[in-house]
Amino acid sequence: MTSSLLHYRAWHGPWRKPLWSVWPIARVALGMLLRRKLFWALYGFALLLFLMFFFGSFLLDWAETQLAAAPIQIGRLKTDPQRTVSFLRRGIRVLNGSQDTFAYFFSYQGAMVLIVLAFAGAVLVGNDFTFRSVGFYLAKPIQPRHWIMGKCLAVAAVVHLLTTLPALVLFAQHGMSDFDYVLDVDYFTANNLGRGPAGWQLALGIVGYGMALAVVLSIMLVTAASWLRRTMPLLLLWVSLFLFMRVLASILVDGLQYDGRWRLLDLWNTLGLVGHACLGFQHRNIGNPPQPEFWEAAVTLSGVCVACLILLKMRTRDVPIVR
């Protein structure tokens, strides 16, 4: 049996279309990342925030039971437990499973996503250029767009692992404590606990917010890492894009009273606006006014993505596959 294996054998199997190559490219990139201890350390750190949201909700439930059992009395003033609970729930929307909860969660978790991606960019994409592996991929019967899609899929998977997946776990947690939360879209408005939808609309909003983050950040990261390759330059660019531009936009709008559209420079805020739209926020309820319209944010992000894709096309076109 062994000797038969030692002979070269012809291959007559089925061939798949080039689009199928996207998954192996993404799988290999993710495999590289998941082997790094640093990634797991950062992922564990990022999950701390999720745990805070997860157990915070139990804390809220516990506080409610305590209030129901023993009403709070301040001096001679006795409070109505129901009103106190309702007040408490409105006050800490961050934990009650409303759209505010997820907006805060994505916003805080996003900071961690940015840090993880700045470190992961070199592993997921930069190494392909440093070690010329990109030539290996493009010499195969695929188009550059399949390589780009594979890499973006890998980055998107990391983003979802850090944001959408924990957010959906939070959604399920709240759904399990009160099943009406999953069934009734008007759950929060009817109970006067929140300002937006619950139920499947909220679940879709969470997925939508995660998708917006994943698509935009993956395209930006793949573009940046394909040009900069190394972690430190990537980190500097990332800090410039998401921190320096945030400060600049704040100075222009809040300090110099420029038009609210200048906030579009702050890409993290712009992403947040699109995410808020997905979660069903009314524009007037967005914090830190004045803010650009949702559609303006969407157009800006689309423009950024198109510009990145043009840069990526240029980058992959110049890869010396045959030297």
Chain residues in the site for other proteins (CB under 8 A) = 5-11, 13-18, 20-21, 24-25, 28, 31-32, 35, 127-128, 131-133, 135-143, 321-323
User: What's the closest the beta carbon of residue 177 comes to other proteins, in angstroms?
Assistant: 41
In whole angstroms, what separates CA 188 from the centre of its chain? 24
User: What's the closest the beta carbon of residue 3 comes to other proteins, in angstroms?
Assistant: 11
Name which of 44 and 320 has its Cβ closer to other proteins: 320
User: What's the closest the beta carbon of residue 113 comes to other proteins, in angstroms?
Assistant: 23
Beta strands in the chain (DSSP E): 73-74, 77-78
Give which of 33, 14, 249, 72 is closest to 158, Cα–Cα. 33
Structural contact between residues 263 and 176, judged by C-beta atoms closer than 8 angstroms: no
Name which of 11 and 179 has its Cβ closer to other proteins: 11
Name which of 55 and 136 has its Cβ closer to other proteins: 136
Positive or negative, the Cα torsion across 66, 72, 78, 81? negative
User: What's the closest the beta carbon of residue 28 comes to other proteins, in angstroms?
Assistant: 6
Structural contact between residues 279 and 102, judged by C-beta atoms closer than 8 angstroms: yes
Name which of 298 and 319 has its Cβ closer to other proteins: 319
Q: CA dist 314 to 4, 145, 147, 226, 318, Å?
A: 47, 11, 14, 11, 6
User: What's the closest the beta carbon of residue 14 comes to other proteins, in angstroms?
Assistant: 7
Name which of 75 and 141 has its Cβ closer to other proteins: 141
